Amino acid sequence: MLFCYIYLKIKVRRQLFPNIFWVMEKYVFRKYNKEYLDFFKSEKKKLSRALGATARIEHVGSTAISNLGGKGILDIAVGVLKSKMAAAKKQLEQAGYEFRESASYPERLFFRIDYPYKNRKRRVHIHLMILNSQDFQGMIGFRQYLLNHPEAIEEYIKIKKAGVRYTLGDGQKYRKYKEKFIKNIVKKAVYF
């Protein structure tokens, strides 16, 4: 019931005030949008200019999987040599990406940037990691497994939708809700 109330409140607010730039609603489930690929290509060009040719830039997360759907946040894994991590961090900050220390740890630095888009924000998350590290390979493996297993996509859609209803915007609970599924897919991806 509370979920319906929140959804209706947001919908009415947008109808009454369509020209106001609203804060991003993070933990919602949106249908897959074919524009995600174009957004990624554009962001990849920007990242390549900032980081150079040695960085491996991969589209990961829900927006990389046709028909998956999700929050609509573009997730990008960037792999660099361990010796280049500090320089890459600085280059990303200079290019306008906001470093989020609270969401980072030494082997995986987290950045974000928001762009105005259709009275909302288009959010991009950058996961800067050591090239070919376990984290990097896990993200790529997860994506590849889903791309090759439509039944896993259907299961993940159900989990994501239930997670949105259950967690009501609590990011930590939302990630925890999906954690078991993700870990199982990453394990399977190793053998895939």
Domain of 17: which CATH number? Answer: 3.30.460.10
Tell me if 8 is assigned to some domain: no
For the chain, the average pLDDT equals 85
Tell me if 117 is assigned to some domain: yes
Tell me if 6 is assigned to some domain: no
Which pLDDT belongs to residue 174?
85
* Tens digits of residue pLDDT in 72-95: 899 999 999 999 999 999 999 999
Q: Please tell me the pTM assigned to this model.
A: 0.82
3-state SS assignment for residue 58: strand
* Tens digits of residue pLDDT in 51-63: 998 999 999 999 9
Which pLDDT belongs to residue 122?
87
Cα 171 off chain centre by? 13
Which pLDDT belongs to residue 12?
44
Q: Is the pLDDT of residue 20 over 80?
A: no
Q: How many domains does the chain have?
A: 1
Tell me if 22 is assigned to some domain: yes
Tell me if 5 is assigned to some domain: no
Which residues form the domain of 109?
Answer: 13-191
For residue 182, name the pLDDT band (cuts at 50, 70, 90): very high
Tell me if 66 is assigned to some domain: yes
